[in-house]
Structure 1
Amino acid sequence: MKHLNKLFVAALMVLGLNAQAQDEDNPWAISFGANAVSTRFGASNEVGDQFSGYFKTENWNILPSISYVNVSRYIGSGFTFGVTGSVNKIDKVVTRTPGTQDYMTTNPGDVTYYGADGIIKYGFLNKSWFNPYVHVGGGYTWLDDSGNGTVNGGIGVNFWFTENIGLTVQSTYKHTFEDQAEANVPRHIQHFAGLTFKFGGKDTDGDGIYDKDDECPEVAGLKQFNGCPDTDGDGIADKNDSCPDVAGLAEFQGCPDTDGDGITDASDACPEVAGLKQLQGCPDGDSDGIADKDDKCPTVAGPKENGGCPWPDTDGDGVLDKDDLCPEVKGTSANRGCPEVTEEVMKRLNEYARTILFNSGKATFKEETMPVLASMLAIFKEYPQANFSIEGHTDSDGSNALNQTLSENRAGAVKNFLVENGIQSDRLTSTGFGETKPVASNKTAKGKAQNRRVEVKLIKTE
């Protein structure tokens, strides 16, 4: 039972499909509802007596729930093939007393009835709300674990409430060829009543043309265009119209040319102003090869690299900004727009450098020397393209090896300070000379103080 209820849920999901009449356009249908089983028909031996009990519902076995499901497919020319699964409870079995017309109803003990049947239907008045049909088929029926094959036939009718939803009423006679008294399943009539939903064919866009015949199945259209629309009404179907939302001319595949420059609006980057083909229909007022819409200086010719404007010379040194390595500082052409380091500048740098104070025997700065380093840093930043060498020197106190190492470390300390404060490392080198290049005598304290120094040299490039 629970399985049939699951089938019922599945059938409700089917309702989400765009169902229509079950024919070559909508070939599928699903039906579900209740069934009733009567053995009164099979117990009779005369035709008249069989039909006299046809409507005696007191002999019917009815399960008050969804108890059958049928799935069918239209196969053409009014014929439909389907399969039916059904379940019931048999608590009334009608038998006839041999040699008499007397009938007796017995309870076999709530036997479970299962049916699995194939059915071929032929329908009449298929386009009407009233749709009768006849059917034949066969299957297998079980009462508990015992069963018989059956040959089936009967009649039915569909009453269509809408184009795709209807009420189905059907009676099927199931005949077994075994003796009625000896058969596992007696001959009987099974009545069906339920809802039928037809589906399978689609008209996605709702234009009255099924998708299989619709060249534009997702957009409502016109019959003369096989279901395709002509949104702008220019007589060209949208699928063939390069400009489907704006009326145009056939010579331009349905597109307009508002500015009359021979370029359709759809391809014209400036559709309201006549322009040049090589600029996608846009004008070039200053003839610099850049369309006015992309030209930052449309009335003055300039290179594309500068947005159509002439190159500026911000610092006025005669070197254009694009070639000026120091565009905001006046320099010389020879130094690519940057200022050149003069002897006066080097003199100032070395005046500062000679006053750098290190802690005794170390490469660390004394606190009072930090303003000196800051002043040197400012000069280095004024000449961003110049390269310098930082040189360290010591007096003669101590061993040569120790003095060499100390001079290298002190020169390196100055370089590290400058790099850490924004000077590019590839502009600087550091070298130590130990006690090898004294500028005064190492025999006096004053001379030794002069020899403990840092010097800055300009590295000249070709």
Structure 2
Amino acid sequence: MKKLSIFFTLLFLLLSAESYAQNTLKKWYISGGVHAVNHPSARGFGEGLFEGDNWSFVPPLSQISVARTLNRSFAVDLQASVGEIDNKRLMIDNEYMVLIGMGLRYRFANGYILKETSWFDPYIRFGANYHRMPYRGLEFAPAEYDNAGNMISGIVDNDGDVLENGAIVDNDHFALSGGLGMNFWIWSKIGLNLEAQYVAVPAVKSDYIDFFQAKAGLAFRFGKSDRDKDGIPDEEDECPDVPGLKEYNGCPDTDGDKIEDRLDECPLEPCPNGESTDEYDCVNGCKVMKEIPVEEEPVEPVTPDPVKEISFEDVLFEFDSYTLTADGAQKVKDAAEIINSQEGNYFVDGFADSVGSDAYNLKLSKNRAQAVKDGLVAEGVDGNRLEVRGFGEQYPKCTNDTPEGRACNRRVVVLERY
């Protein structure tokens, strides 16, 4: 046993050195420790699992695992368990056991369930194994009974149950295993490992050589993971799934304008902050076009049609509004008295100042004219005598360069039609 412990210690150190030297950008894992087996609890699949008398313990460094991460969720491993154990179900003592196999692990600390950097790192494992343990070539012959029903020959286990009739116990077996494990990372690369799994031999119909195996030991992980292959380890990469630049902690600058994509509102259009031309300024990585001032020539007020305005003051409106003011309502009432006192039909023409787009101002002017028509109808004017028109910012009465001039242009005029 002393020679065996020395062998596993050297193997442990050798694998550690190799994994670190050859996989500086890969995530390797190695653990080693003591293990124990429990044959009696396989009979009831867990019955008596926590009874110490059912377990056979093996000295330290009797179990070793080497694993390599495939992606954030899965890893493959190679496990080996050796040592002299007791099969306390079959009452066999101090036999040399070997269990070597490949396994697939699913890690819960994968960024979906737990954080990848979590100190608590549980996993489930399924494996295929070579299992060897001498059973002294015993043949489990059919049991024989006397006339009173008492067994006079046959093999029984430690619970007095007759084992499978006619079975021959081989030394070498193919075994399947499955179980749970967990790592507790005390430091970033050193932790404690606990693992429990059930080992079954499919070729044997009975479960008399199946067993539970538990392991406890130290775990080490080496190298650095770099999922996006940008040369920046995942633990330092703020964008671990997208290739990026070191100056932006692993995040990309797709358009190369010195603004990382997370802060760039136009990540596909290069526009460095602070750049300015006659046409645009760069703001948050986007081009903001400048307004080019246009000098407007003074426009003389013109009458839209050869009509005459009835004698009352314009109905004026507030900025960006077509609601009649108190003063406007009084002017509408005055206009209604004039229209009702004479015959003829009338235009109700609306206008706007130059603030806003042409389309918006055209619609606003029509709404203002309609508001005046509605007021005139409310005062008793026949609506059929009134025609609503909107001219937007055309035909300004006053200049649009001053607040007073723009207020003058927010108006409605009632004109008599010839």
TM-score, shorter chain, exceeding 0.5? no
Pick the structure with more helix per residue.
1
TM-score by length of 2: 0.41
The structure whose RCO (Cα within 8 Å, separation 6+) is larger is 2
TM-score by length of 1: 0.38
Pick the structure with more strand per residue.
2
Structure of higher CA gyration radius: 1
